[in-house]
Amino acid sequence: MPGKDMRFTFFIVTLVAVIGEGAQGAPHVVGYERFHSDKPTVEGGAILFSELGCANCHGGSPVVVPRKGPNLADLSRRVDREWLAAFLREPESGRDGSTMPQMFHGLSDGDISAVLDYLGTFETKKKISPPRHANAERGSAVFHESGCVSCHAPTSDYKGPHGSGADFESDLIVSHPDFKKKTNIDALTVFLSDPSAYRPDGRMPHIRFEGQEASDLAAHLLDEQGSDPREMPRLRKWPKAEAASIEKGKELVQKMNCAACHESPKVGESKMAPLTGSSGGCLSDKPVEGLPFYSLTEGQQESLKLFLSKKESDLDNDITFAAMNCYACHDRDGKGGATPETNPFFVGDEALGDSGRLPPPLTGIGHKLKKSWMESVFRGDEGSRVRPYVKTQMPVYAKHAVELANWLEKLDAKPDAKQMTLHPADIEAGRKMLGIVGGANCITCHEWGEYSLMGIHALDISSLDERLRPEWFRSYLLDPATYRPGTLMPPLWPGGHSTVKDVLGGDTERQIAAIWEFIKDGEGVPEGFPDRAGGAFELKPVDRPIIQRTFFEKAGMKAILVGFPGGINLAFDGDKAQLAQVWRGPFFDAYNTWYTRAAPIEKPLSDEVYNVSVSEKDARFRGYRTDEDGNPTFLSTLGDQEVEESYAVEDGKLIRTIKWSEGRPVPFFHPEGVEHAEKREGDTLTITYSWK
Amino acid sequence: MRVCIYIWAICLFAGTAVSGKDKSYEVFEMMTASSPSDSRSKEWKPGDGISLEVSGMEWMGDGRLAVCVRKGEVWLIDNALSDDREKIDYKLFASGLHEPLGLLKDGNELLVCQRSEVTRLQDNDGDGVADAYLTEADGWNVSGNYHAYAYGPERDGDGNLWVTLNLGMGSLANNSIGWRGWGGIIGKDGRFVPKSLGMRSPSGMGRNKEGDMFYSDQQGTWIPATPIYHLRPGVFYGNQESLGSLKLADAPFQMASIPKPNTPYPEALESSPEFVPPAVWLPYNKMGRSATDIQLIDQNGKFGPFDGQLLVGEFTNAAVSRVFLEVVGGEYQGACFPFLDGFAAAVVRLEFAPDGSLFVGMTNRGWSSLGNRSYGLSRVRFSGKTPFSIKEMKAKPDGFELVFTEEVDPATLESLEMISYTYEYSSRYGGDEMDTKNVAIEGSDISDDGKTVRLKLKGLRRYHVHELHATGVKSKSGSKLGSPFAYYTLNQIPEK
């Protein structure tokens, strides 16, 4: 994938230039870069202390979910040995800005080989086999639309509806290794299907891909052109190791305290190392034997020193949002969220404005959502994705759901928030308020379970009591834009005054509480949903033909449908000025054409259809006339000829009459499978279609 | 944000005062979706009454009002000017149309704009029901996408019939071919003749007294707030989703350069010679959220003292705004004012009746509004009692001139405040005000008749909206302003 990491490379090159030739590039921690790289701050230091794994040896993680290294299981089946050897020698060679410290300075190639031999014994019985099918093109769509590009750079050849990868530049991206060198489609598919199995700290979060999205994505990342994964490159087999080398590797792994960061059964017990000072040691400019070497920038060093000299209680509480990169997608208190660079890649339902494509803000989230719901979202429970129109997916943090929910609840607690006073008897008023018959019209825009109206398809509100705290709901309704900047939701109680005067005497508090009561009650639907399609809106020609224009599968976007009494119907293609389809039985359901906002392309109500093979002719449609019985005559021109085509039904037969003006019969086509008889008189042709 | 909403709320209730308490304007509801047989009722069946989701209105010249509704019908209303609802008679004239969104009388016949064509409706046998639906104009792409609406036709001072074409959005949308996001006129051969591009959702058109056309657009992709543009050939209004049609053979012109996105409007405007600013910005929330129809007040005082100004329908707030325009440096620019609100449903179409009353056509469908009925038709009459208002706001080289409808109490002028801001030009859906600054008011002179106030300001900024706060201003007789806010879009600062 040439070009993918161009911007990042530039960044690293700059850093190398700053810190001097020959040194490893500095670790790149997005949470630090986002707000703290300009000048040293305590918070920046705290983020580094967590994200460089310092807390794993020294204790005291300032982040709710501590940073860990990857699980080392099955390395020999997932990672190329040579790539790994180079990576251990110099992590920067495997991935730009890697936060893995250099551990092997002063050790020989033989030592690294021994460590690899030992790591090669970490095999499990986990199934890592080729996926059945992979499609890099679809994988590109998954990569660029599901939210991966909130953290990673878009591919340079990608062109989306608003954003393009070609000129993408940002300091806030997490680089990739060269996947082709590091791994293959089998392992990458398994990894992407559930990254938390190998990356327990959630820094590479788990997106719930469906079907074969994970293998498509892997094919995209590996830039595989074929579709059969069995024909794609296999990993080179790791050589069989000598027992002595394995034993030596084991000793080294324990001596280097790999277990502090890497949780794997065979990696051994971790040892804590008390902090001895706030300079030198791991913070040194040059590698110190026996200690990790991070090649920190001066700013990073200063930040860490500031952090180490402060008490933890001095910290802003947003460290976790920055460290886990929640800010890549979410705004909280005006911080973070889409950047000018990433904004174009957040896609969704544009009819809902920015709230239809941007993940929701996290301002006051622990006060907004019930703890049980936050746990459900973090666990990725079925039904916990309430904004299906936002293409960016909220990752799953199943292993940390409880601690994250507890933390957010405590963080945002508002014990003084005004509570809602409930009036259980107002349930019916709540139903009216939600509805569109003298209510506040909530369902015009919001979906209600399986019901939706003609409007935009905003968030389903039928079970919001499971998600929201009532006191937040109350505050939000009174002032939506404060709680959700940029929302399309209008203030229905502007200044605290209800726009609905006839329900509960216009009492704002009672109206809001009534809405809550009705939703909580869970019985019934708001007032005003029409009967579902298929009934009340069926057009039934009784005395006269019914003519209706619509978008129609077989007759195009300028279709004119004609239903005759007696169950013979036709569709005329107004673009091509030709008959397109005939059907017998029920005519048409006009529900969508008349009353939905986003009407689909329609089809006949009956299955007894007779298609017409319409081919192009240079005819131009000029409209239609109706006679006194309501039968249509379609008008068109074909070159210099005026053509008139009339339809009527007599005795269960469809009578089609074609007239032309300049003496040359015009081409036309019959509905297939219908018996017909033709009769020509001068410049008029009459065709009778009959059924047995 | 809180401040915005607060101001907005004040506008809302201040506006209500215009149409409510002091009764300068009275609203008469002819029909709204309040009866149990309306289309949203579970019991409603096709044929059980009229679902008057008004999408076009036109007077027939014989006292009848023609109304097209979104369901696909045209109704002729007899005795539409009667105060007795029982005497108002609705007759179905045409049906089976595909979401008509505009109506225009041409000779004695009606033109109606459907999704795929402009259709001429004829009643040849004189039975009061249309029997010919003739294709008057077509030639634009219809992809089947719901958002690809077509609006018009509207006649300019030279007799051209204008049609504007919405961008598609969502599934099936294809804006890269066939004039989506363009406006044009109906050619002699009945083909759409594209004239200008860069529109998003141009749902309303109207001409001023000079015969020049204006159209309203909707906040959304590429459009930060609600704009009113001078509609004319050869210009680009900003929405780049419409650029695809420039590749077509019939493209009337090519753009010398495409404006640079993610730059403030003043800068973006300088980056392309074809790119033009709106004559007036209607700031988001403060003036509502979604402008619709444009209607000239030309009623010789029968609709109050605002002749020559434009009324603009407002969907979300179920309201009507007022726009004053002047020509500065050869281009239109001016100010907008909240005007009427509290309508039964979203205001979509406006049409003056022969007696000088304003007919307001409404439909909530597809979006929602502060009106809690799903549709309706109302009539607004001026009571004769002039509301205390800022009638005009004119740009001067060093400030503005405010013309009030009544004598102003000079002591209250000290309370005037002003801010100015612009927007970012970007592909994003809507955008915040940016670069907001206070504008220092250095002095004010009041004319001998007490109605004209000349403000001297420091720091006028070109291409910025200048927002006047006049909440403390009172008339000599002690009245407060019905709408104490005004928003002037200063595209050019006059030289004299």
Residue B232: exposure state from Cβ atoms within 10 A (0-12, 13-18, ≥19):
middle
CB B284 within 8 A of CB B467: no
Taking only the tens place, the pLDDT of each residue in B413-429 is 999 999 999 999 999 88
Judge whether A134 lies within some domain.
no
Confidence check: pLDDT of B44 > 60: no
A489 and A548 share a domain? Answer: no
B135 and B265 share a domain? Answer: yes
**What pLDDT is recorded for position B11?**
31
To the nearest whole Å, the CA of A325 is away from the closest chain B CA by: 23
Asked if B429 and A479 come within 8 Å (Cβ–Cβ), the reply is no
B190 and B66 share a domain? Answer: yes
**Boundary residue ending a domain (A383, A411, A439):** A411
A486 and A545 share a domain? Answer: no
Share of chain A above pLDDT 70, in %: 94
CATH number of the domain to which B176 belongs? 2.120.10.30
CATH number of the domain to which A450 belongs? 1.10.760.10
CATH number of the domain to which B482 belongs? 2.60.40.1220
Nearest to A531 among B42, B72, B366 (CB): B42
Residue A278 confidence class, pLDDT cut points 50, 70, 90: confident
B125 and B272 share a domain? Answer: yes
A369 and A487 share a domain? Answer: no
Q: Which pair of structure tokens corresponds to residue B484?
A: 């104490």
The separation between the first and the last C-alpha atoms of chain B, rounded to the nearest angstrom, is: 37
What CA–CA distance (Å, rounded) separates B182 from B247?
13
Residue A312 confidence class, pLDDT cut points 50, 70, 90: low
**What pLDDT is recorded for position A313?**
60
Judge whether A312 lies within some domain.
no
B326 and B407 share a domain? Answer: no
Confidence check: pLDDT of A18 > 60: no
A432 and A406 share a domain? Answer: no
B271 and B408 share a domain? Answer: no
For residue A48, give every residue at least 6 positions away whose Cβ sits within 8 Å of its Cβ, in sequence order, or none. A29, A32, A54, A296, A300, A303, A304, A307
Judge whether B261 lies within some domain.
yes
Asked if B120 and A622 come within 8 Å (Cβ–Cβ), the reply is no
Judge whether B486 lies within some domain.
yes
Judge whether A468 lies within some domain.
yes
A606 and A682 share a domain? Answer: yes
Structural domain span for residue B87: 28-286+320-339
Asked if A357 and B429 come within 8 Å (Cβ–Cβ), the reply is yes
Of all residues in chain B, the one with the smallest CA distance to A545 is: B96
Nearest to A441 among B1, B262, B372 (CB): B372
Taking only the tens place, the pLDDT of each residue in A482-538 is 888 888 888 899 889 998 999 999 999 999 999 999 999 988 888 877 654 445 688
B278 and B399 share a domain? Answer: no
B404 and B262 share a domain? Answer: no
Asked if A500 and B170 come within 8 Å (Cβ–Cβ), the reply is no
Residue B1 confidence class, pLDDT cut points 50, 70, 90: very low
To the nearest whole Å, the CA of A342 is away from the closest chain B CA by: 12
Over residues A196-214, the mean pLDDT reads 90
Q: From the centroid of its chain, how far is CA A587?
A: 39
Nearest to B5 among A353, A456, A482 (CB): A482
Asked if B71 and A594 come within 8 Å (Cβ–Cβ), the reply is yes
Q: Is the pTM for the entire model greater than 0.90?
A: no
B112 and B254 share a domain? Answer: yes
To the nearest whole Å, the CA of B116 is away from the closest chain A CA by: 6
Residue B169 confidence class, pLDDT cut points 50, 70, 90: confident
Higher pLDDT, A276 or A667: A667
| Residue B326 backbone phi and psi in degrees, to 5 | -140, 165
User: By three-state DSSP, how is residue B55 classified?
Assistant: strand
Judge whether A195 lies within some domain.
no
Of all residues in chain A, the one with the smallest CA distance to B223 is: A353
Judge whether B48 lies within some domain.
yes
To the nearest whole Å, the CA of A411 is away from the closest chain B CA by: 23
A372 and A428 share a domain? Answer: no
B327 and B418 share a domain? Answer: no
What CA–CA distance (Å, rounded) separates B388 from B337?
13
**Boundary residue ending a domain (A358, A385, A411):** A411
Taking only the tens place, the pLDDT of each residue in A138-180 is 899 999 999 999 999 999 989 887 888 888 989 899 999 999 9
Residue A268 confidence class, pLDDT cut points 50, 70, 90: confident
Q: What is the DSSP letter of A235?
A: P
CB B207 within 8 A of CB B154: yes
B281 and B134 share a domain? Answer: yes
Of all residues in chain B, the one with the smallest CA distance to A628 is: B131
Q: Three-class SS string for A120-144? A: CCCCCCCCCCCCCCCCHHHHHHHHH
Q: Which pair of structure tokens corresponds to residue A454?
A: 């003609």
Q: Between A and B, how many CB-CB pairs are < 8 A?
A: 174
The 10 Å Cβ neighbour count of residue A660 is 18
* Amino acid, res. B336: C
**What pLDDT is recorded for position A17?**
36
B191 and B75 share a domain? Answer: yes
Residue A316 confidence class, pLDDT cut points 50, 70, 90: low
Confidence check: pLDDT of B2 > 90: no
A552 and A683 share a domain? Answer: yes
Residue B193 confidence class, pLDDT cut points 50, 70, 90: very high
Asked if A598 and B170 come within 8 Å (Cβ–Cβ), the reply is yes
Judge whether A434 lies within some domain.
yes
A317-331, A534-548, A644-658, B152-166: the lowest-pLDDT one? A534-548
CB A215 within 8 A of CB A134: yes
Residue B15 confidence class, pLDDT cut points 50, 70, 90: very low
Judge whether A224 lies within some domain.
no
Residues of chain A positioned with their CB less than 8 A from the CB of B95: 547-548
For residue A349, give every residue at least 6 positions away whose Cβ sits within 8 Å of its Cβ, in sequence order, or none. A356, A357, A389, A390, A456, A457, B170
CB A29 within 8 A of CB A194: no
Of A479, A498, A151, A488, nearest to A326 (Cα)?
A: A151
Please check whether residue A486 touches B, CB under 8 A: yes
A393 and A504 share a domain? Answer: no
What CA–CA distance (Å, rounded) separates A400 from A408?
12
To the nearest whole Å, the CA of A10 is away from the closest chain B CA by: 23
Over residues A436-462, the mean pLDDT reads 83
Q: What is the DSSP letter of B21?
A: T
Judge whether A297 lies within some domain.
no
Of all residues in chain B, the one with the smallest CA distance to A354 is: B429
Structural domain span for residue A367: 346-411
* Count of structural domains, chain A: 3
Q: To the nearest 10°, report the CA torsion of A90, A96, A100, A101.
A: 50
Q: Edge-to-edge strand order for the sheet containing B358-363?
A: B25-32, B375-382, B358-363, B347-352
Asked if A444 and B367 come within 8 Å (Cβ–Cβ), the reply is yes
A628 and A553 share a domain? Answer: yes
Residue A130 confidence class, pLDDT cut points 50, 70, 90: confident
Judge whether B81 lies within some domain.
yes
Cβ under 8 Å to B: A residues 622-651: 622-628, 635
Judge whether A211 lies within some domain.
no
**What pLDDT is recorded for position A6?**
40
Q: Which stretches of A569-688 are DSSP H helices?
A: 591-595
Of B489, B443, B338, nearest to B19 (Cα)?
A: B338
Taking only the tens place, the pLDDT of each residue in B49-84 is 678 899 999 999 988 999 999 989 999 999 999 988
**What pLDDT is recorded for position A445?**
87
A630 and A674 share a domain? Answer: yes
Asked if B135 and A440 come within 8 Å (Cβ–Cβ), the reply is no
CB B379 within 8 A of CB B279: no
| Residue B178 backbone phi and psi in degrees, to 5 | 75, 35
A500 and A627 share a domain? Answer: no
Taking only the tens place, the pLDDT of each residue in B291-347 is 999 999 999 999 999 999 999 999 999 999 999 999 999 999 999 999 999 898 899
Confidence check: pLDDT of B210 > 50: yes
Asked if A350 and B170 come within 8 Å (Cβ–Cβ), the reply is yes
Taking only the tens place, the pLDDT of each residue in A344-401 is 999 998 888 888 999 999 999 999 999 999 999 999 998 899 998 999 999 999 999 9
Q: Which pair of structure tokens corresponds to residue A362?
A: 């996290």
**Boundary residue ending a domain (A359, A382, A411):** A411
Nearest to B430 among A162, A354, A558 (CB): A354
* Count of structural domains, chain B: 2
Cα angle for residues A170, A174, A175 (degrees, 5° grid): 100
Residues of chain A positioned with their CB less than 8 A from the CB of B283: none
For B120, what's the count of Cα atoms within 13 Å in the CB-facing half-sphere? 14
To the nearest whole Å, the CA of A205 is away from the closest chain B CA by: 27
Judge whether B346 lies within some domain.
no
Residue A455 confidence class, pLDDT cut points 50, 70, 90: low
**What pLDDT is recorded for position B20?**
40
Please check whether residue A531 touches B, CB under 8 A: yes
Residues of chain B positioned with their CB less than 8 A from the CB of A546: 96
A442 and A512 share a domain? Answer: yes
B333 and B415 share a domain? Answer: no
What is the average pLDDT value for chain B, to the nearest integer? 90
**What pLDDT is recorded for position A317?**
74
Q: Which pair of structure tokens corresponds to residue B282?
A: 């209607």
Q: To the nearest 10°, report the CA torsion of B219, B223, B224, B230.
A: -90
What CA–CA distance (Å, rounded) separates A475 from B34?
30
